[in-house]
Chains A and B, each alone.
Chain A
Amino acid sequence: MFIPTTFGFISSKVVPLYAPTFRRAILRNTFRNTPGSRFGALSFKEFSCKKFTKDHEWIVVENNLGTVGITDYAQKALGDVVFVETPEIGTVVEQSGACGAVESVKAASDIYAPVSGEIVDVNKNLAETPGLINKSPETDGWLCKIKLSNPSELNDLLEENDYHSHCEKSH
């Protein structure tokens, strides 16, 4: 699958090996506050970053707005998704608080918010096409968008390679 980055998409086959160092190197060289720099004095957190939870949710944050979904690992383990319960817009969630559920094989599995904040949007396509979770779990199958109330909570989450290590240990 393709991982969204600030500079477009990178194949997931390449990203896990060096993505954190790659991104840090690019950002160090590009976002220095030097005259003539295209990006001026923009801070790192204003650009999108993708983080993961141990419970197999992902979040991509851009301009303090987080898009949340479940991972490809999670959808494979669930089986065919037949129903998605998204949170209500306006709901205030706490980090690790329940924010919806996914149903497959007559089992409803709760989803937990990676960060605290307010639900400002939900993916309405999932009502008619819950299978988007299986088909595109980390892109078109996003679940909800959260306006972050405490961006420092992102530090509690896993980078991609740490998340993959976590998945391997779970077997």
Chain B
Amino acid sequence: MSLFFSTFRNTLTGIPTSILPYVYLSQISYEKALNLQKLLVRRRFENKNSSDLLLLLQHPPTFTTGRRDIGKTTNDEAYLRKLGAEYFETLRGGQTTFHGPGQLVGYPILDLRNFKLSVRCYVAAIEHVIINTCNAYGIVASTTKNTGVWVGDDKICAIGIQVQRFITSHGFALNCNTDLNWFDHIIPCGLEDKKMTSLTNEYAKEGKKTIITVEQVIPTLCQHFGYVFGRPLKPLKDVNNESDRALMQILDEFLMI
């Protein structure tokens, strides 16, 4: 079990204030991102001095399901692949969801011991980051008894995490201007009576025609991530220490393959 028990506050205290690097990978296949996460998590196991890192990216149309549904979705997979999407069973928590262009996907690769966070509090922290990001656009978001972030009855951000020896992987998926029709082909997160929404869709409900893109949201999300987790975020390429330069090199080599 990889966890600590801690009371969560809006801004965590008593934790290192060093820079938390992030990198935006643009659009990358789910399989490649999954392999990258495995590489980074293994690197964290083997080298305690290696950095935490926030991966931000988009995926091509991809459906994924979580740990409890492994081996149970063969029929769904065949149907969804016919739509032209990829399909992956994963070891994260949560059930079936969709990733695609216009959705800001975040994979924090963090050592929870650095933040003195329990698993429960870590998920709550992610939810707070997303809520604060939505609020920055004037969209009132909240949590419910179902994990994730909601605008009224509609889900705007899904969360699904894996924790291995205190190291997190997988993460969150915030709909910015995602084509929500993809979600009609599944029961998102196993909740039959719930719909999905996006930042752009919420603007449209108010009569605003502005499209909110992933690239526009990233700086706001990083600001609130830094605030909630108590460590300012900086692009990995701008962080000037040996550990992060080594990380940059690993990413460059990985992405060139």
| Contacts known (A106-B147, A108-B92); A74 close to B3, Cβ less than 8 A | yes
Does A90 sit within 8 A of B, measured CB to CB? no
- A107 close to B1 (CB less than 8 A): no
Does A70 sit within 8 A of B, measured CB to CB? yes
- B119 close to A104 (CB less than 8 A): yes
A82 to B147, CA, bound (A): 12
Candidate in A107, A108, A170 with the most chain B CB atoms within 10 angstroms? A107
Does B195 sit within 8 A of A, measured CB to CB? no
- B163 close to A110 (CB less than 8 A): yes
| Contacts known (A57-B1, A85-B68, A108-B162); A101 close to B123, Cβ less than 8 A | no
Q: For B148, list chain A residues within 8 Å (CB).
A: 106
Q: How large is the interface on B (under 10, 10 to 19, 20 to 34, 35 or more residues)?
A: 20 to 34
Among B111-170, those with CB < 8 Å from A are 116, 118-123, 147-148, 159-165
Does B249 sit within 8 A of A, measured CB to CB? no
Candidate in A76, A79, A103, A111 with the most chain B CB atoms within 10 angstroms? A103
Among residues of A, the one whose C-beta sits closest to the C-beta of B5 is A77
Which residue of the partner chain, among B66, B116, B160, B164, contacts A171 with CB atoms under 8 Å?
A: B116
Q: For B24, list chain A residues within 8 Å (CB).
A: none
Q: How large is the interface on A (under 10, 10 to 19, 20 to 34, 35 or more residues)?
A: 20 to 34
- A171 close to B4 (CB less than 8 A): yes
- B68 close to A171 (CB less than 8 A): no
Does A31 sit within 8 A of B, measured CB to CB? no
Among residues of B, the one whose C-beta sits closest to the C-beta of A108 is B93
Among residues of A, the one whose C-beta sits closest to the C-beta of B124 is A105
A107 to B164, CA, bound (A): 11
A85 to B92, CA, bound (A): 12
- B5 close to A107 (CB less than 8 A): no
Further pairs besides A103-B93, A107-B119: 10, Cβ < 8 Å: A57-B1, A70-B1, A77-B118, A78-B119, A105-B93, A106-B123, A107-B161, A109-B2, A110-B162, A167-B5
- B93 close to A76 (CB less than 8 A): no
| Contacts known (A83-B68, A171-B116); A106 close to B3, Cβ less than 8 A | no
- B1 close to A105 (CB less than 8 A): no
Q: For A164, list chain B residues within 8 Å (CB).
A: none
| Contacts known (A77-B120, A101-B91, A103-B67); A108 close to B1, Cβ less than 8 A | no
Does B94 sit within 8 A of A, measured CB to CB? yes
- Chain B, residues 85-96, CB within 8 Å of chain A (1/0): the string is 000000111100
Among residues of A, the one whose C-beta sits closest to the C-beta of B90 is A108
Q: For A55, list chain B residues within 8 Å (CB).
A: 1-2, 165
A77 to B147, CA, bound (A): 16
Quote the shortest CB–CB distance from A57 to chain B (angstroms). Answer: 6
A70 to B94, CA, bound (A): 21
A112 to B93, CA, bound (A): 17
Does B6 sit within 8 A of A, measured CB to CB? yes
A74 to B119, CA, bound (A): 10
